[in-house]
Structure 1
Amino acid sequence: MLRSTVIVTAYKRKAFIKDAIKSIMENSLGPTEIIVVKNFKDSEIDSFLGAYHIKNIYTDNETLGGKISLGISQSSGDILFFLEDDDLFSKNKIREVVHKFSEYDIGFYHNDQEIFSDKAIGSYSSIDNRGFVYYSDIDSQKLKKLLFKFKAGFNVSSIVISRDLAMRCIDLLRNVKITVDTFLLFCAIENKLPIMIDFRRLTHYRLLTSQSGNKDVNLSLFRMQYEDALYFKRIFTSKVLKDFIEMSVIQRELIYKMLSKEISRREALIDVITNLKYSLKYPNKWNFFLQGLSLMAAFSAEKGRSFYLKKVRSNSMLSV
Structure 2
Amino acid sequence: MADKDGQSGHGPSLKTRLYAWWEGYDLSGVKSRKEGEAPPSSEQAAPAPGPGMNRWGKPLWSATRIEVAEKMWGEGFNTPGGADHIPYLVKPLGLNPAMSVLDLAAGLGGTSRTMAGKYGCWVTGLEASELLAKEGMVRSFKHGLEKKAPVESFDPENFSYPKRVDAIVYKEGMFAVRDKEQMFDGIELALKPRGHLLITDYIAEDAVTAAKAVQTWCDKEPLAPNLWPKDRMANAFAQRNLDLRIAEDITDTHRGLILSAIQGLVDHLEKYQLDTPTKLAVMEEVELWARRVAAIDAGMRVFRFYAIKPAE
TM-score when normalising by structure 2? 0.28
Higher relative helix content = 1
TM-score with structure 1 setting the length: 0.27
